[in-house]
Amino acid sequence: MPGKKSETGKGESSGMNPQLEVLKAALAKNSVLLGSRSVLKALKTGNPKIVFMASNCPERIKGDIASSAKISGAALERFEGTAKQLGIFCGKPFAVASLAVMQEKKKNA
């Protein structure tokens, strides 16, 4: 069955890509920026940890994000689905061509 936990009980949740697990956790914490403009702004400030791009993200935007991610040192991942599927994965009723998972802010004790 898809999505079924492994019978060995060794922590395998569903065979999901580890990067998608990170995305799912970030969505739960609300530490995700959606949209190419927001992603590019965040890359310029150096905050994102990982940037995801949909497989059908426009070439111009892919190039801009890829070069900015390389400069900022953020990891760049390709979402193996369309922008509409990425939006649905994020629980949004619209297409999302790219998104950024932000670094966790350190709290002063």
9, pLDDT greater than 60: no
- Asked if residue 65 belongs to a domain, the reply is yes
State the CATH number of the domain containing residue 87.
Answer: 3.30.1330.30
Domains contained in the chain, number: 1
- Asked if residue 68 belongs to a domain, the reply is yes
How confident is the model at residue 8, as a pLDDT? 40
How far apart are the C-alpha atoms of 32 and 15, rounded to whole Å? 23
Containing structural domain, residue 42 = 18-102
Largest CA distance in the chain: 45
- Asked if residue 80 belongs to a domain, the reply is yes
Section 36-64 average pLDDT: 93
1, pLDDT greater than 50: no
Q: How sure is the predictor about 10, in pLDDT bands with cuts at 50, 70 and 90?
A: very low
- Asked if residue 8 belongs to a domain, the reply is no
Instruction: Output the pTM of the full model.
Output: 0.78
Q: Which of 18-27, 56-65, 80-89 has the lowest mean pLDDT?
A: 18-27
First and final C-alpha spacing in the chain: 45
- Asked if residue 109 belongs to a domain, the reply is no
Burial (CB count <10 Å: 0-12, 13-18, 19+), residue 36: buried
